[in-house]
């Protein structure tokens, strides 16, 4: 994952959509008005931030990718503030100056609680759209991905036209959709609705199986390559086509428990994915990183971006996710009464036997946690010539399996301490172990869990594969 961050600096992202100004007036309330039963606010601070498509551009810039912003602002004071903030953040832009008012959202807060929001907005004219489209045509060939940030404020008069132009140039389009009619986004590479938006667009659903069915139908109907549904505390679910054009489902658990404010989380997600696509980064990795970044943003007040310094701690070590974050996800799953399955191993050369074993382990519960020996631990157990693949590579391969939810490395010779921290409902090992030989079995049984064995595929092992390779 750390290498991924360096790759993002190669990306070039064009952002087009509804540009907004987010204003925050914060104060304290100690009494009610004598005129009416409403709180009296004593103002303490006032702040303006980039919102909408401008916040998406800011997030792209925070990741290190090059970015340019297209959209419309008014000739009013809010429009000037937006331009000044973009200059301050060093974000390149070509904004049409409209005779209508800039889109402005003012939030009134007391004690970190929102008391009131005041929206000032006008639907921009067809003249503003034509100018925006011309700017788009001038810039499209310079970029490797395009974000369409649609908030329904009138900037994007004809989204389909922008997508068509992008497809002709073979530039992938990432859309943050709005409204119930998603047909206007047909031909995009990926759209990223939240669960509510998705439900409205497809007509609702009553189960996870029905959600999956409707997601796959929507991909086909809109000729998408992928669909990402953001699901709040449940994380996010990605549906994307593999090389055989089969639609694969991948779920990413939320990477935060302490949610302070969800404003701007969608902007962060789409910005991260767009940066990844522009940098030729694997889509699953881009989504995983966007999940982490969104977790950082929702812990802040108001529409926010993030810095690389804020997410790097979650990427430390060789794991794609920091172990502390993984533990938070596990604790959240326990709160939701999900059944936790744990297994462990070196997984030096992943083969069909491993995959079959892990699939069977996953069927025994709702969440499969795989503990993996770090490199020094493998060397102590297997000899100085092992591992063949380093920890980072082994984690990357394991994490790519749909049946594996979380991978956590450990440095000891056994996973006993990790098992005691996780307290799994089911501990799984291969049938070559007797129950009393399985590390952690006594602890799991004492805590009310089960210990189970799974059959291995015969004659398939890492050692056998290595011996075959040596002979050849």
Task: At 16, give phi and psi (nearest 5°).
Answer: -135, 135
pLDDT in tens, 122-177: 878 788 999 999 999 999 999 999 999 998 888 998 999 999 999 999 999 999 99
Length of the chain in terms of residues written: 472
Catalytic residue, chosen from 22, 150, 267, 425, is 267
Structure tokens at 432: 């070559």
Walk me through the domains of the chain, giving residue ranges and CATH numbers.
2-315 (3.40.1190.20), 327-471 (3.40.50.620)
43-47, 311-315, 391-395: segment of lowest average pLDDT: 311-315
DSSP string over 331-387: HHHHHTTPPEEEEEE--SS--HHHHHHHHHHHTTSSEEEEEEE-HHHHHHHH-TT--
Distance CA 175, CA 105 (A): 22
Distance CA 274, CA 448 (A): 45
Distance CA 193, CA 211 (A): 13
For residue 345, what are the CA distances in angstroms to 286, 293, 369, 382, 464? 27, 30, 11, 12, 16
What spatial distance separates the first Cα and last Cα of the chain, rounded to whole Å? 34
For the whole prediction, is pTM greater than 0.75?
Answer: no
440 in Cβ contact with 340 (< 8 Å): no
Q: Show the CA angle centred on residue 15, arms to residues 9 and 221, nearest 5°.
A: 110
For residue 118, what are the CA distances in angstroms to 23, 26, 80, 151, 260? 9, 14, 19, 16, 21
pLDDT of residue 325: 54
Nearest to 215 by CA among 179, 183, 184, 240: 240
Name the more confident of 306 and 276: 276
Side-chain-side CA neighbours of residue 221 (13 Å): 15
Q: Lay out the sheet containing 190-191: strands in order across.
A: 92-98, 66-74, 12-17, 145-149, 173-176, 190-191, 226-230, 236-241, 247-252
Q: Is 267 a catalytic residue?
A: yes
Q: What is the average per-residue pLDDT within 294-318? A: 52
pLDDT band at 363 (very low <50, low <70, confident <90, very high): very high
Name the more confident of 318 and 445: 445
**Where do the H-state alpha helices sit in 14-105?**
53-62, 77-88
Helix (H, G, I), strand (E, B) or coil at 437: helix
What's 194's DSSP letter? Answer: B
pLDDT band at 267 (very low <50, low <70, confident <90, very high): confident
| Percentage of residues in the chain having pLDDT higher than 70 | 86
| Secondary structure E strands in 167-223 | 173-176, 190-191
Q: What is the average per-residue pLDDT within 441-462? A: 82
Task: At 366, give phi and psi (nearest 5°).
Answer: -100, -20
Distance CA 398, CA 108 (A): 47
pLDDT band at 302 (very low <50, low <70, confident <90, very high): very low
What's 102's DSSP letter? Answer: P
285 in Cβ contact with 260 (< 8 Å): no
Distance CA 335, CA 337 (A): 5
Distance CA 223, CA 207 (A): 24
Nearest to 48 by CA among 265, 259, 303: 303
Q: What's the whole-number average pLDDT of the chain?
A: 85
Structure tokens at 230: 């953001």
pLDDT of residue 288: 83
238 in Cβ contact with 249 (< 8 Å): yes
Name the more confident of 448 and 264: 448
């Amino acid at each position: 994952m750390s290498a991924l961050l360096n790759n993002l600096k190669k990306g070039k992202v064009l952002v087009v959509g509804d540009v907004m100004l987010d204003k925050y007036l914060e104060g304290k309330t100690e009494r009610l008005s004598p005129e009416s039963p409403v709180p009296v606010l004593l103002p303490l601070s006032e702040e303006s931030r980039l919102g909408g498509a401008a916040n998406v551009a800011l997030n792209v810039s925070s990741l290190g990718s090059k970015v340019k912003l297209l959209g419309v602002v008014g000739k009013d004071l809010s429009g000037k503030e937006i331009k000044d903030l973009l200059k301050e953040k060093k974000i390149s832009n070509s904004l049409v100056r409209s005779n209508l008012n800039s889109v402005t959202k003012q939030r009134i807060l007391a004690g970190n609680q929102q008391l009131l929001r005041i929206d000032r907005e006008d639907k921009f004219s067809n003249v503003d759209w034509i100018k925006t489209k011309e700017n788009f045509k001038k810039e499209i060939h310079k970029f490797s991905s395009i974000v369409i940030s649609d908030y329904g404020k009138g900037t994007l008069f004809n989204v389909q036209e922008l997508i068509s132009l992008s497809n002709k140039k073979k530039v992938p389009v990432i859309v943050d959709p709005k409204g119930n009619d998603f047909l206007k986004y047909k031909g995009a590479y990926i759209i990223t609705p939240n669960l509510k938006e998705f439900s409205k667009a497809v007509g609702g659903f009553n189960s996870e199986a029905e959600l999956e069915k409707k997601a796959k139908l929507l991909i086909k109907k809109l000729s998408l390559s992928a669909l990402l549904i953001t699901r709040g505390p449940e994380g996010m679910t990605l549906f994307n086509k593999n090389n055989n054009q089969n639609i694969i489902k991948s779920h990413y658990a939320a990477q935060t428990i302490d949610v302070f404010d969800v404003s701007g989380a969608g902007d962060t997600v789409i910005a991260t994915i767009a940066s990844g696509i522009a940098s030729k980064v694997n889509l699953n990795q881009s989504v995983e990183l966007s999940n982490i970044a969104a977790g950082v943003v929702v812990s802040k007040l108001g529409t926010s971006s993030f810095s690389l310094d804020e997410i790097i701690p979650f990427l430390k070590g060789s794991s794609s996710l920091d172990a502390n974050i993984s533990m938070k996800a596990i604790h959240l799953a326990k709160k939701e009464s999900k059944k936790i399955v744990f297994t462990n191993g070196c997984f030096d050369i992943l083969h069909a036997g491993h995959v079959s074993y892990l699939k069977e382990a996953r069927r025994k519960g709702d969440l499969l946690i795989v503990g993996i020996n770090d490199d020094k631990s493998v060397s102590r157990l297997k000899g100085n010539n092992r591992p063949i693949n380093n920890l980072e590579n082994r984690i990357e391969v394991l994490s790519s399996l749909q049946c594996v939810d979380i991978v956590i490395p450990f440095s000891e010779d056994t996973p006993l301490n990790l098992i005691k921290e996780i307290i799994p409902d089911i501990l799984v090992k291969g049938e070559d172990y007797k129950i009393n030989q399985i590390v952690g079995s006594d602890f799991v049984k004492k805590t009310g869990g089960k210990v189970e064995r799974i059959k291995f595929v015969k004659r398939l092992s890492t050692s056998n594969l290595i011996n075959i390779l040596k002979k050849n």
